[in-house]
Amino acid sequence: MKVISYNLRKHRAAGELSKLVDEHAVDVLCLQECDTRDIPLEISGLRLAEATQRNRLGLAVYYRENTFRAVEVRAIALKKSLHDYVLKPAEERMLGVRLRDIDDGREIIVASFHAAPLTALNSLRRHQIRTALNELQNLGPGLPALMVGDYNYPVFKENLGQKVRDQGYELTLSDARTYTRYRFFRGHYDFATSVGFDIAHIRTLPQGLSDHLPILITAEVSTSPTFAGS
């Protein structure tokens, strides 16, 4: 399964999506900072599962129609930062979708995630990540789950990785930094947390109109998965 996660930077990079999907034969597309009033129902064979409704800049998840069926979707509001209270950019910061493979009937969960910006503390982002991962298991207890997106966590990722492992998940970074706008804040912002998946690799794709670079996750369901909470 191939998944692309992309922060569109206030929808500026929306015109790049069809090319990305076609070029990389993508199965699932997870977006952040998209204008949910201006996104299509279909992108190069991918169907819109759901988009957040209460965000000024929202989340969306697309899936390949000839491979999956969307069984259930859930948008979650997470603990707010001061930035959220003042500017109100995002009410819902996680959008999860339970997908069923139309050939073998197996189900998985894929989610798009956007943590609070750098003006917030890492402790708040860890709280958001922990809550989001718990909600994924409520969406499909025991199912393989993959949450990708903009974690806004460029430093102290070793500590975050341990916290994630304590929940039964794994944190996986891409092969190159994913944010380049400001010199002193460059680094890995966009990555994945997963359980029940074998992540073959995560590749940072060339930069487009966004200050974030899209990432391409290649993964498959583990043959002997260890699920969160087991």
Q: Are strands 2-7 and 215-221 parallel, antiparallel or unpaired?
A: antiparallel
**pLDDT tens-place string over residues 76-129:** 888 775 556 455 555 789 999 999 999 999 999 999 999 988 787 889 999 999
Q: Which domain holds residue 165?
A: 2-221
Is residue 229 domain-resident?
Answer: no
Task: Report the length, in residues, of the chain.
Answer: 230
Where residue 7 sits, what CATH number does that domain have?
Answer: 3.60.10.10
Read off the pLDDT band of 228 (50, 70, 90). low
Is residue 174 domain-resident?
Answer: yes
**pLDDT at residue 3 above 70?**
yes
Secondary structure (3-state) at 15: helix
pTM of the model: 0.92
Helix axes 157-166, 122-139, angle to 10 degrees: 30
Is residue 41 domain-resident?
Answer: yes
Is residue 127 domain-resident?
Answer: yes
Is residue 40 domain-resident?
Answer: yes
Is residue 140 domain-resident?
Answer: yes
